[in-house]
Structure 1
C-alpha cells in the first residue's frame, strides 16, 4: 500500500485561509450575540432535567459506541470526551479524571450550555452552528476562560432525515485538535449514525420517528419542546404508604411525615425524636438526658417528656412509639439530614446542596443536637471542597452555612482562572476572614493584577 503523500503547501495554505475565515465569522457572530468573553456558561439543565433529558434523548442509545471508540482510550490521557444535544447543552462529559476537575473551572460539565450564541467560538458550539466538523485551538476560543484548551467536534445527524441531533467533542491539550482527531471523530459519528439506523430496525418503537425526537416526544428537541412523558400504567390495589420521615433542616420545630399527614412537633420533642432516630441501638436514660440537657442526672425531667412524646406518636405514627431500656425506636426513621449525607456519598453534590436547606434544628442548644449539627456541616463542607465542581462550590459559599467556609474560598481562588470575574467577589468576601487566612487572600488578589 502506497504511503500517503503530504499535502502540497498550496493546499495547506488554502485550508489555513479557510480556517481563519471560519474563525473570524464565528467571532463576529459571538460579538453580534453580545457574548461576554469573561463569563462562565450557564447550567441550562439542572440535575433532575438532565437525568430526564439524557434518558429520553436518542443519543443515550449511542453511548456504548462512544465508550468503545473514544472514552475507553482517554483515561489518564488528559483528554475529555463530551456528548451534547442539538442545542449545545452537554449531556455527558467523560474521560481523564484530573482533566474533568480542571474543566469544571470553565463549567465544561454536564448540563452546561455551550452553544456558540452562549459562549462564542468553541468546537462543540461552532460545529453545531455550521453543521460541520470544527477544530479550535487555544486562543482561537472567544471565551478567555477556555483559551488554555483545544478541542475538536463533529455534529451527529439522524440518518432517517438528516436532522441535527447532537455533537461529539474531544477537549484537552493540543492533541485534542491534532491532525488525526478530526478523522477519528468523523469515523465515530459515522458509527453512531449507523447504530441509530440499525437500532430502529431491531426495535422501531424504542427510538424517535426520524426527527431525532426522544421516545414519546411530540416534536423534535430542535423545536424547543420538551419530550412528552409516557402515561404511567394504572395501579390496582392500595398504594404502598411512604415510610415515616423527619424533616429537621432549617427549622427549629421538626415536621414528622407519617401516614399521609405532616405533624409539627414541639422543639423538645423534635430534639428527642431526632436523637432517637440518629442512634438505632438506643440510649440509656442517663445518656439521653445528658444529650438533651447536658446533665446525666436530669433523668427525672427526661421521663415525663418521653411520656408526652409517646402520646403524640401513638396518635400520628404508632410504629414509632419508643421502647425503653434502652430508649429506642422500634423501626428506622429517616431524616432529611440523612438524605443530604446519602447524596454526598453518591457524589451528587449539587443535589445535596439543594437538599441542605439550613442547619439542623438551628435553635437547639441540646449538646447531642449541636454535635449532629456540627458533624453534618463538616461533612457537607469537606465533601464539597474535596470533590464538587466549581459552580457548586460557588453556590456553597453563597449560602448562610458556607459563607464562613474560608477553605472553600481558597479552593475556589485556586481553581478559577486568573481573569475570571468570580474571583473579585471571593476575595472581597474574605476580607473580614480570620487573620491566618489573609496572606492566602493577598496572594490570590495579586494573581489578578496585571
Structure 2
C-alpha cells in the first residue's frame, strides 16, 4: 500500500504527517494559483543559464556521489532523479531514458521551475516550501499534467546554518513513493554533504560553509580518445580509451557524429539546425544533451560535454574518418575493407545527411578513379552501391573478357534497365 492510500494512518504517524503536508500545500496552491489550469512550469531554455546554475550549485562538487547512490539505481528501475536549486528550478534531471522522454510532456526538464508558486503541490516544490520530506501520489498533484506521476523529495540543508540548498527528488510510478524512498533520499543527501565536509578538510580548509559554496576544483581527467563506430548502423557504438563501450540511441549517435565533425563546437542553434529539419526545439535539444551527458558519464566520468558552444573535452574519432584517411593515403583496399556501409544510414538529420553524402561520394570517386577491377567489384559489394550503374559498367570494362564474374554484373545491369 502506498502512503497516498494510507488514509487511515494514526495521528502523528509519518504517513498522516505527509498527508497533512499535502493538504496544506493544496490550500496554498489554490490561494496562489486559483485553478489547476494555471499550474504550468516555466522553462528557462537558455543553456548558458543552466550551465551557470549547475556550476554554482553547492552540490556540484559532489554530484558524482549522488549519481552513484541515486541516479544509477533509478535508471535501472525506470525512475528519474531531479535536483533543484533553492528556488525550485530543476538543475539536474537524469535516470531512465524512456521515463525522461515521458516527463518532457509535463516539462519536467532541466531549467523548469517546479516551485509551489508555479505548479502547486508537487514533491520538489512542497519539500522546499515546508523544509520537510514529502511524497505526492498521482492526483494529489495540483497540476493536471503531473497527476499521472508520483514523487518523493527531501530537502538538502547547509550544515550548521540549516539553510535550504535545494531538494533531491525521485519521480516515476508508484515505486517512487515506496516506503524506502524517503530514507534512501535522506541517506544520499547526508552522504553528499558529508563528502563535501571531507573534501574541505582534505584541502586544509576545514570549512563546511566554504566547501558548500565552492565549485569543482577543475575539469576531471579527459580520456585520451573516444571512437565512434557508425558505419552501416543507426545506433552507434562509442568506445573510450578505458576499454568501456556503450551503444547510443539514434539521436545521440547523430549528436556525437556532428560533434566529431565540428571539434571546435556548435552553438545551440547550429546544432539544432544540423539535427532537425524544422527550426527544432531548444527544450527538446537540451533534454537530449542532458541524457547524452549522463550516458557519457557512465562510459567514463572524465568525459565532459560543454555548452556555448557544445563541444567535448576529449578527442573524438569515427570509423568514417578512418575510411577517409585511408583514401587520402591511397589505401583503397583498406578503406573498402573497413567500410561497413554509410554513416547512420537511417538518419534524416540534415547535418548527418551531408556527412553521409560526403563519405559515400568520396569513397566512390576514389575507387572509380583508381581503375582497379577488384576495388570496383568490392565497392559494388558494399551496402548501398550494388545498383550504381556507372560502377557496374566500369567493372565490365576492367574485367577480362572471359571472367566468370561478368555474368552477374550483366544480369544486374539488365535488371536496372541499363
Q: What's the TM-score once normalised by structure 2's chain length?
A: 0.50
Q: 1:96 maps to what in 2?
A: 96
Residue 78 of structure 1: how far off its partner (Å): 1.6
In the alignment, does 2:29 pair up with 1:133? no
Q: Would you say the 8 A contact 1:158–1:210 is kept in 2?
A: no
Q: SS of 1:165's equivalent?
A: strand
Deviations along 1:142-165, one digit per CA (max 9) or x if unpaired, are: 100000000000111111422111
Figure out how many residues of one structure are paired with residues of the other and give that number: 239
Q: Which moved more, 1:145-154 or 1:205-214?
A: 205-214
Q: Would you say the 8 A contact 2:122–2:142 is kept in 1?
A: yes
| Residue 143 to residue 196, structure 1, CA distance change in 2 (3 Å) | same
Residue 53 of structure 1: how far off its partner (Å): 1.8
Residue 181 of structure 1: how far off its partner (Å): 0.6
| Residue 63 to residue 134, structure 1, CA distance change in 2 (3 Å) | same
The alignment's C-alpha RMSD in Å is: 3.7
Measured in 2, the distance between the counterparts of 1:95 and 1:152 equals 15
Measured in 2, the distance between the counterparts of 1:344 and 1:138 equals 40
Residue 201 of structure 1: how far off its partner (Å): 1.3
Q: Would you say the 8 A contact 1:105–1:389 is kept in 2?
A: no
| Residue 172 to residue 389, structure 1, CA distance change in 2 (3 Å) | farther
Measured in 2, the distance between the counterparts of 1:57 and 1:204 equals 22
Q: 2:18 maps to what in 1?
A: 19
Q: 1:191 maps to what in 2?
A: 191
5+ long unaligned stretches in structure 2: 1-5, 217-253, 261-265, 289-418
Q: 2:71 maps to what in 1?
A: 71
Q: Would you say the 8 A contact 2:197–2:206 is kept in 1?
A: no
Q: Would you say the 8 A contact 1:76–1:97 is kept in 2?
A: no
| Residue 54 to residue 45, structure 1, CA distance change in 2 (3 Å) | farther
Measured in 1, the distance between the counterparts of 2:200 and 2:211 equals 13
Q: 1:381 maps to what in 2?
A: 277
Q: SS of 2:78's equivalent?
A: coil
5+ long unaligned stretches in structure 1: 1-7, 217-340, 358-375, 393-450
Q: 1:281 maps to what in 2?
A: none
Q: 1:29 maps to what in 2?
A: 28
Q: Would you say the 8 A contact 2:154–2:169 is kept in 1?
A: yes
Residue 46 of structure 1: how far off its partner (Å): 2.1
Measured in 2, the distance between the counterparts of 1:354 and 1:207 equals 42
Q: Would you say the 8 A contact 1:35–1:120 is kept in 2?
A: no
Residue 117 of structure 1: how far off its partner (Å): 1.2
Residue 132 of structure 1: how far off its partner (Å): 0.9
Residue 9 of structure 1: how far off its partner (Å): 11
Measured in 2, the distance between the counterparts of 1:199 and 1:55 equals 17
Measured in 2, the distance between the counterparts of 1:82 and 1:115 equals 13
